[in-house]
């Protein structure tokens, strides 16, 4: 069984990989940050499996200090892995491990063509942001890392920026996956935070939604319906998938595997978190 401090290991490894990618160039840089990313991904998988097989929950507080007025929980960053996030964490670990190993040789054909330092820094931050999306236990922190995940993925889609088609695919991805769905998702999540009286901790949000649903089930059902539409765009569910073929096909092959294999599933994670964990009774209302 892993202890709670193990939750910080993947982030620590990815921070080291990020620093390495800034200062170590060429093949050596590729090998180092890809190996570190593979190790971080492997540890993510172990954490997810440990929660599913041995424990119900792991939590670790990265920092905590006195709350100010309207701190919205930003005074505390707690990582939590429960069975809901553990399933997706295993998937992220497997895909991240496979992609990082594949990148050891794949990235060599970009030497002298595009910046490997830029790829390394963005790739490690992309992996880290997805890990944080799955492990934070606060809606505000979720929004922050969700936005970072989207921005880093757009940079990776446009990595081969000298190709017009890659730039156009990145723009389309931005406007479809961000400008449209992000507004809906942010609006809905902020509404949920308001319902929770500005205490966006997941446990508090769950209680607040249950109480509000008893008094005004139509309001809560409407909020979750809008959230479902926004998340459907992000997860490329038909017919809201038109951005996906262009964006994923023009990204480097290793990144395309991560985008299709796990990033779009982050929206599925929030669907499960919302409809199965936050408010399971809403399924009967919608």
Using a CB cutoff of 8 Å and minimum separation of 24, what contacts does 279-282 make? 279/206, 279/209, 279/210, 279/213, 279/220, 279/224, 281/210, 281/213, 282/213, 282/217, 282/220, 282/221, 282/224
The SS3 assignment for 1 reads coil
Do 172 and 97 lie in one domain? The reply is no
Whether 29 is covered by a domain: the verdict is yes
Whether 157 is covered by a domain: the verdict is no
Q: Mean of the per-residue pLDDT values for the chain? A: 84
Question: What is this structure's pTM?
Answer: 0.90
Over the stretch 67-123, which tens digit does the pLDDT of each residue have?
Answer: 655 566 788 899 999 999 999 999 999 999 999 999 999 999 888 888 899 999 999
Q: Please state, in angstroms and rounded to a whole number, the distance separating the CA atoms of residues 34 and 31.
A: 5
Range from 60-74, 120-134, 203-217 carrying the lowest mean pLDDT:
60-74
Do 17 and 75 lie in one domain? The reply is yes
Position 242 scores a pLDDT of 64
Do 195 and 282 lie in one domain? The reply is yes
Containing domain of residue 195, as a range?
Answer: 162-286
Do 65 and 114 lie in one domain? The reply is yes
Instruction: Tokens 């190790």: give the residue.
Output: 39
Q: Please state, in angstroms and rounded to a whole number, the distance separating the CA atoms of residues 217 and 281.
A: 10
Over the stretch 174-186, which tens digit does the pLDDT of each residue have?
Answer: 776 666 666 667 7
CB atoms near residue 195 (< 10 Å): 18
Burial-class residue 65 by CB neighbours within 10 Å (0-12, 13-18, 19+): exposed
């Amino acid at each position: 069984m892993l202890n709670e401090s193990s939750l910080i290991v993947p982030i620590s490894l990815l921070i080291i990989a990020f620093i390495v990618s800034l200062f170590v160039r060429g093949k050596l840089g590729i090998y180092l940050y890809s190996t570190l990313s593979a190790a971080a991904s492997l540890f993510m998988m172990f954490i997810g499996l440990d929660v599913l097989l041995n424990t119900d929950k792991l939590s670790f507080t990265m920092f905590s200090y006195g709350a100010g007025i309207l701190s919205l929980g930003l005074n505390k960053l707690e990582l939590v892995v429960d069975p809901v996030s553990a399933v997706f964490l295993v998937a992220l670990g497997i895909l991240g491990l496979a992609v990082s190993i594949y990148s050891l040789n794949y990235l060599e054909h970009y030497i002298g063509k595009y910046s490997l330092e830029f790829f390394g820094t963005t790739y490690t931050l992309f992996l880290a942001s997805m890990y944080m999306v799955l492990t934070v236990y606060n809606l505000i922190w979720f929004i922050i890392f969700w936005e970072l995940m989207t921005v880093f993925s757009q940079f990776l889609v446009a990595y081969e920026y000298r190709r017009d088609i890659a730039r156009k695919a990145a723009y389309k991805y931005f406007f479809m996956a961000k400008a449209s769905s992000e507004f809906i998702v942010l609006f809905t999540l902020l509404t949920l935070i308001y319902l929770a009286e500005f205490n966006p901790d997941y446990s508090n949000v769950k209680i607040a939604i249950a109480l509000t649903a008893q008094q005004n089930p139509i309001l809560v059902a409407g909020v979750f319906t809008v959230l479902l539409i926004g998340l459907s765009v992000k997860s490329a569910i038909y017919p809201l998938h038109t951005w996906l073929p262009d964006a994923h096909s023009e990204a480097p092959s290793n990144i395309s595997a991560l985008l299709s294999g796990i990033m779009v599933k982050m929206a599925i994670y929030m669907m499960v978190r919302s409809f199965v964990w936050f408010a399971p009774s809403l399924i009967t209302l919608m």
